[in-house]
């Protein structure tokens, strides 16, 4: 987790304890998620200046909030993209990383499109996304990439998400309008909520 530059690699990991992570691989992680007691997933995409340990900590706080609720059962999965962290002057560096991280996040989303579950293609769990700050840029760019690559997802984007929550979204106000760079968010989600 010392790398701060975006690339096309995706690492599927589990946090064992502070600063200690175990790489699971995509198949094992998807099997663990599918076989879990949860009926919903919340993909948490952090904002800028957030180092991996901080992102895992925020995800753990969200998971604790979800556990306070009896039903539905929600599993929080942090989506970590490389940030520099530290000073505000790193904003532009993190913005570049967010844009370049879209390729790897798109690859991760394809696992939900190709979910191995009794021959069904789509994930049968309800999948939600909480994108904070510049995390909305990562989400927007990944979905736009999927939309522009019909060979990856067929004729049009499927309704992959139940809800997309954009908290303090670091994207243009008009992004969700038809024909704009974020309109794919409205195509793939039943609800899009902007805070």
Q: pLDDT per residue over 22-45, tens digit each?
A: 999 888 888 888 888 888 999 999
The per-residue pLDDT of the chain, averaged, comes to: 83
Tokens 């946090």 -> residue? 15
Q: Greater confidence, 120 or 32?
A: 32
**CA 50, CA 161: separation in Å to the nearest integer?**
24
Q: What is the pTM of this model?
A: 0.88
For the chain, give the percent of residues with pLDDT over 70.
Answer: 82
pLDDT mean over 39-68: 90
Which strand (E) or helix (H) includes residue 129? Answer: strand 126-132
Instruction: Name which of 92, 88, 102, 84 is nearest 45 in CA terms.
Output: 102
**CA 173, CA 116: separation in Å to the nearest integer?**
37
Using the CB atoms, write b or e for 130-162: b if 16+ within 10 Å.
bbbbbbbbbbbbbbbbbbeeeebbeeebbebbb
């Amino acid at each position: 987790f010392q790398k701060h530059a975006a690339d096309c690699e995706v690492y599927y990991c589990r946090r064992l304890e502070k600063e200690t992570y175990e790489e699971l691989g995509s198949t094992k992680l998807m099997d663990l998620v599918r076989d879990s007691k949860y009926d919903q997933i919340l993909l948490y995409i952090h904002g800028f200046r957030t180092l991996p340990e901080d992102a895992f900590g925020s995800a753990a706080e969200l998971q604790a909030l979800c556990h306070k609720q009896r039903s539905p059962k929600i599993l929080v999965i942090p989506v970590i993209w490389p940030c520099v962290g530290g000073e505000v002057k790193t904003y532009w560096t993190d913005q570049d990383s967010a844009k370049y991280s879209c390729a790897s996040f798109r690859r991760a989303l394809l696992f939900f499109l190709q979910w191995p579950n009794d021959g069904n293609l789509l994930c049968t769990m309800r999948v939600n996304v909480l994108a904070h700050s510049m995390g909305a840029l990562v989400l927007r760019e990944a979905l736009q990439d999927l939309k522009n690559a019909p060979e990856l997802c067929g004729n049009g984007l499927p309704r992959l998400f139940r809800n997309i929550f954009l908290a303090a979204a670091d994207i243009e106000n008009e992004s969700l309008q038809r024909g704009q760079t974020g309109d794919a968010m409205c195509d793939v989600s039943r609800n899009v909520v902007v805070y």
